[in-house]
Structure 1
Amino acid sequence: MILQGKTALITGGRQGIGRGIVEAFLAEGADVTTCGRGARPEGLPEAVTWHSVDVADPGDVAELADAVGWLDILVNNAGVQVEKTVMDSTDADWDLVMGVNARGVFNCCRAFIPFMPSGVILNIGSISAQHADPAMALYNASKAFVHGLTRSIAVDHGPGLRCNAICPGWINTGMLEAGFDLARNPGAARADALARHPARRFGDPRDVAAMAVWLASDAAGFATGQMFTVDGGMTAASPINPGLF
């Protein structure tokens, strides 16, 4: 129960990585609030408070901050993905992806930092910010923004406030499946991707949640301004397919 007595807000806690972090924080004793677009999701533990919020809307986020108040931990997880190149991306795609992934993180940090003279902000970045996935131009760019903002918050708002980013690799969520659907041969693409993971598996939301628990805890008190990769070793390898050797 290493988060006992801590108050935490996780954005985008409906499913996937966000839901995994919600459940992990709850298990470690935190008082958990989460939010997302639409109604409260089925199966969300009764102990978790739900708010219907569009993080891309600064008015929505300001109201959320007023409702939640003092926080020990803010996890900016809400994110969306559009599978397009720059040339194929529309203004609406820009507004959606950059609105949620970039402006949404900015909105939440700006709104909640006044309620966090001490505490922890965790931003969910991505290995895609450093190693661009094909046909994911806006997503890649939005996550690069998250990494840069993470460093700035750590520098500008320490020592009381720590800010780090978690950079997941290929995690078993709907976003992963959407990525494979882009391939000419999804089955072959999946097999090749697995071969490039020294862990020989894709990640699970609980793998990211475990890192989030540690970074949110006092045990990580000297960690700030950093990007923590959780990718089963994929980006540690050279581009050569290890399955060929």
Structure 2
Amino acid sequence: MTVLSGKAALVTGGRQGIGRGIVDAFLAEGAAVITCGRSDRPEGLPEQVIWHRLDVANPDEVARLATSIGSLDILVNNAGVQIEKIVPETTDQDWDTLMGANARGVFNMCRAFIPLIQPIGSIINIGSISGNVADPGMALYNASKAFVHGLTRSIAVDHGPDLRCNAICPGWIETGMLDAGFDLADDPVTARKDALARHAMRRFGQPGDIAKMAVWLASDASSFATGQCFTIDGGLTAASSLNPGLF
């Protein structure tokens, strides 16, 4: 028997990357899966997955979706964007775009769906190691993920034991966001090589690595885990600043 059989899950930002990895993993474990994004249904999404067009930053759209869906067992807040700028370069539009998706969007979804989550359901927020240690040149992104971590703890404290709320904090995962980060470097090829040497696992993560943790947090196997931010980064933040590739 698959571990999520009989459970209904909503995953935001399921078009690609980590979100799509979680959608596929939940399906494989027997969940009924709904996902959403700001554009039309993507090609290749399994037909049994229900797609909604949604801007998570818009509270009215989120409220309408909540009314349409009704009860849930699992909510995964994955939708987000990345902007590579330092504070003086950041515009008001950048603030609205990034904080709208990464911070307000997570808040909107939690506010709308907490009353609809079945006992004892699971909220999984996708944070980042960037909410704990700042990546250079990504000030707003770093701040938005710190918000997600704090909100995660607050929801766990305020709403236990009716539901559990945890965050997954990915490290460097092979998605378009990772490539955009390396493009900030003067020498992206050398930067990528150096970054790999700083990972104990000597590789970057894959969306499936995060999806496996999401399955565990969504399942009854994690019934005593709440209010935690789980770092999944291949050992990157466990190491000192010394580059092991130099020794």
Q: TM-score, normalised by structure 2?
A: 0.99
Aligned to 1:138: 140
Aligned to 1:173: 175
Take 1:164 and 1:141, find their aligned partners in 2: how far apart are those partners?
18
Aligned to 2:112: 111
Deviation of residue 68 (structure 1)? 0.9
2:230 to 223, 228, 232: 228
Is 2:126 the counterpart of 1:129?
A: no
Aligned to 1:209: 211
Could you list the runs of 5+ residues in structure 2 that have no partner in the other structure? none
Q: Deviations over 1:32-77 (max 9, x none)?
A: 0000001000000001000000000000100110111100000000
Aligned to 2:98: 97
Aligned to 1:70: 71
Q: Deviations over 1:153-184 (max 9, x none)?
A: 00000002000000000000000000000000
1:153 to 152, 155, 158: 155
| 8 A contact 2:7–2:31 mirrored in 1 | yes
| 8 A contact 2:18–2:207 mirrored in 1 | yes
Take 2:61 and 2:194, find their aligned partners in 1: how far apart are those partners?
42
Take 1:77 and 1:106, find their aligned partners in 2: how far apart are those partners?
12
Identity of aligned residues (%): 74
Aligned to 1:54: 55
Deviation of residue 234 (structure 1)? 0.3
Give the aligned length: 245
Deviation of residue 116 (structure 1)? 1.3
Aligned to 2:5: 4
Deviation of residue 117 (structure 1)? 4.6
| 8 A contact 2:204–2:234 mirrored in 1 | yes
Deviation of residue 123 (structure 1)? 0.1
Take 2:19 and 2:77, find their aligned partners in 1: how far apart are those partners?
9
Q: TM-score, normalised by structure 1?
A: 0.99
Take 1:125 and 1:85, find their aligned partners in 2: how far apart are those partners?
20
| 8 A contact 2:73–2:118 mirrored in 1 | no
For residue 241 of structure 1, what is the amino acid of its counterpart? N
**Matched residue SS, 2:122:** strand
**Matched residue SS, 1:72:** strand
Take 2:19 and 2:92, find their aligned partners in 1: how far apart are those partners?
27
Q: Deviations over 1:84-132 (max 9, x none)?
A: 0001000000000000000000000000011015200000000000110
> What value does the CA root-mean-square deviation take over the aligned residues?
0.5
